[in-house]
Amino acid sequence: MNTSALEIIICMGSSCFSRGNNRNIAIIERMLGKAVARNVCKLEGHLCQNSCTRGPNISINGKVHNEVDPVTLMALLAPYAGDDAGDDQTGQRGET
């Protein structure tokens, strides 16, 4: 997994939350939850940053992404989600 220095900051202000970050946080947890649990991905929320009209806003490694819909978010996170996506239900990597 390419999670070195991965830091995600999601706006949890009321506008961003209601415009999509309520769903986006679930996507982040689903795609990177194991990485967050292992502390190889830092996930933080913050309050409104006064960019509501461009929301929902999410920062990934210092780059702010605006109007982040679920499809865009999944594409942004895909490079970091490899190991979690490949794990089976026991959390073990499958060997073939």
Compare residues 16 and 73 and give the one whose CB is closer to ligand FES: 16
- Compute the least distance from the CB of residue 56 to ligand FES, in Å: 7
- Establish whether the linkage from the previous residue to 70 is cis, with ω within 30° of 0: no
CA 26 → CA 17, 29, 92, distances in Å? 12, 5, 22
- Compute the least distance from the CB of residue 72 to ligand FES, in Å: 16
- Compute the least distance from the CB of residue 74 to ligand FES, in Å: 20
Site for ligand FES in 28-57 (CB under 6 A): 48-52, 55, 57
Instruction: Name residue, tokens 């990934």.
Output: 60
DSSP state of 20: I
Instruction: To the nearest 10°, report the CA torsion of 66, 47, 52, 70.
Output: 40
Compare residues 7 and 87 and give the one whose CB is closer to ligand FES: 7
Question: What residue is closest to ligand FES based on CB?
Answer: 13
Binding footprint of ligand FES, residue count (CB under 6 A)? 12
**Single-letter code of the amino acid located at 70:** P
Binding region for ligand FES (CB under 6 A): 11, 13-16, 48-52, 55, 57
